[in-house]
Amino acid sequence: MLRAVTLTLVILAAGVSGAAAGPQADDLTICRDRQADAQARASACENLLKADKVSGKDKAIALSVRGNTQINKRDYDHAIETLSVAIGLDPDYVIALNLRGLAYERSGKDDLAMADYNLALQKRPTYGVPYNNRGVIYARRGATQSALDDFSLSIKYTPKFLLAWTNRARTRTLLKDFDGALADFAEAEKIDPSAPQIASNRCITYGMMGKFDQAFADCNGLIERQPKNVYAINNRADVSMMKGDLDAALKDYNTAIQINPNNIRAHSGRGQIYERKKDLAQARADYRAAAYSLTKFDEPDVARARAIAQERLAALTPQAPAAATGRRVALVIGNGAYKNVHALPNPPRDSKLIAGVLHDVGFQTVISVSDLTRDKFFDALKAFAEEAEKADWAVVYYAGHGFEIGGVNYLVPVDAKLAADKDAETQAVALEQVIAAVGAARKMRLVVLDACRDNPFAPTMQRTLSLKLVDKGFSNIEPGAGFMVVYAAKHGETAMDGDGAANSPFATALAREIKQPRVEIRKLFDIVRDDVWAATRHEQQPFTYGSPPGREDFYFVAGK
């Protein structure tokens, strides 16, 4: 697995700038200590920052520790802000530059990440960690030899850096230098024989060598210790594919998807199996899930899996005859009758209103459903995806509970319990699944979310993940070209219900504007935004991400 540096292994450089006394001295000593317990060091650095009694290089160190913590919590925007301040205080502090590069990379901003890695290496050419991180970007871009060179430099300057050894081993495997790869894994074992990435990646190496017994021994041993290690499960499935055992591979891909329904590698692999089995509808469904999954960045193996899915989806998507030109389809969902949290009276009314308007403006198919359990939700998305394949427009409108946890946006089925934040993956429906359902439409792919309401589970939800738990709203996303995702409220804010039996302000404005002739869709949602902003007295502002194809105008009502 070619991963960017494990954050707990990013050791911050010690700095010295004067003496202090009392408790501040203890905190300063711990904050400077590269070998200190990570949690104790983070607490000490926070104490110094909150007391505002640290400056210069010591403050840069404390801010870098804070930035490292924010990266671990996937709070990349704040990490970039924090680390930028640290770099401003000490422009030569290469550890802060490397960390900011990592935050940029995890935000999907590879060019900015590369700039920081390059600057860190310019300032300290013997700093091994940025070579590894830069190598990961090269690997993701398919520049395999450049990746190999950087991993080798990382090993040269930081010979005890285990990830550099395993990353070089994985790269050598791709280049079919199997002896070199096995030698690198052996060196990694000298550093930490129990490191899971050794067995999981060596499993693939042995598989590509045709040594299936050794491959399964590695993967099986790791999975026995870590039954929910999706990466190892996918690797074992890949080895089964190499061996030609499609049933064993399918079983593992199914397990991976059960653990993580949005896993790109598992959907791409399972799609290939279904394609071989001539079940093309299911193959397309899996390829869509892999092709359109929303991630800030893909690890190199994930990027390859996504590319395969995109290529095969294009090859398998049927081309509609000329008579089908202009076909428009919609799925309208209103979830209100929640079983384990307070019910929402508006979504069924809002969805009925929007479904009726779409019928009225000429959509050939409008599937209107309400109060979906998770299983029914996925059934509806699967059925709609098949309609979208035959359409020029595919539109999904959802009203109900929705929120974000750990950077993933979720829609909430009526049977969700969500006792803990980790339950979201298995009890809610990720926005990626909805994006995938509209993905096969030829022209307009639109998802409308009237769902930025408070997270009703937040007061009792157990926090088990080292992530920020968002109590309200969706996070911002970056859909691919040709997609529009419209939120009823700006990210991190909540949408308002209507008064009494009235529809929500957003549904009311949307239904009104859809019926207006000759209003291009980009302009239409600008008007809806302004209408809602005025109707709610500046308390709610809809927001649109992405855009439809740029060479054509799109109208709900073409008009005269």
The answer to whether residue 15 scores a pLDDT higher than 50 is: no
Q: Please choose, from the candidates 114, 265, 251, 155, the residue with its C-alpha nearest in 3D space to the C-alpha of residue 204.
A: 265
Kindly indicate whether the domain formed by 7-192 is annotated with CATH number 1.25.40.10: yes
Instruction: Give the pLDDT mean for 215-240.
Output: 95
The separation between CA 18 and the C-alpha centre of its own chain, rounded to angstroms, equals 43
Reduce the DSSP state of residue 516 to 3 states and report it: coil
Reduce the DSSP state of residue 529 to 3 states and report it: helix
Distance CA(376)–CA(238), nearest Å, equals 30
Pick 67 or 481 by higher pLDDT. 67
DSSP label at residue 10: -
CATH fold match for the domains 198-316 and 327-546: no
0.85 cut: is pTM over it? Answer: no
* Other Cβ atoms within 10 Å of 519 Cβ, number: 18
Distances (CA, A) of 310 to 229, 242, 273, 291, 295: 25, 21, 15, 5, 15
CATH fold of 327-546 reads: Rossmann fold (3.40.50)
- Token digits of residue 208: 């590509």
Binning pLDDT at 50, 70 and 90, where does residue 253 land? very high
Distance CA(235)–CA(56), nearest Å, equals 47
- Token digits of residue 315: 């090859």
Find the radius of gyration of the CA atoms of the chain: 26
Q: Please choose, from the candidates 81, 33, 75, the residue with its C-alpha nearest in 3D space to the C-alpha of residue 58.
A: 33
The mean pLDDT of the chain is: 86
The answer to whether residue 10 scores a pLDDT higher than 80 is: no
Distance CA(185)–CA(31), nearest Å, equals 34
The answer to whether residue 505 scores a pLDDT higher than 60 is: yes
Distance CA(433)–CA(293), nearest Å, equals 7
Instruction: Evaluate whether 89 touches 63 at the Cβ level (below 8 Å).
Output: yes
Instruction: Give the pLDDT mean for 205-220.
Output: 97
Asked which of 137-146, 196-205, 320-329 is least confident by mean pLDDT, the reply is 320-329
**What single-letter amino acid sits at 329?**
V
The answer to whether residue 23 scores a pLDDT higher than 60 is: no
pLDDT at position 11 is 34
Instruction: Evaluate whether 87 touches 97 at the Cβ level (below 8 Å).
Output: yes
Q: What ranges do the domains of the chain cover?
A: 7-192, 198-316, 327-546
The tens digit of pLDDT for each residue in 276-285 reads 999 988 898 8
pLDDT at position 469 is 47
The domain 198-316 belongs to what CATH superfamily? Tetratricopeptide repeat domain (1.25.40.10)
DSSP string, 169-235: HHHHHHTT-HHHHHHHHHHHHHH-TT-HHHHHHHHHHHHHHT-HHHHHHHHHHHHHH-TT-HHHHHH
pLDDT at position 500 is 54
Instruction: Evaluate whether 324 touches 365 at the Cβ level (below 8 Å).
Output: no
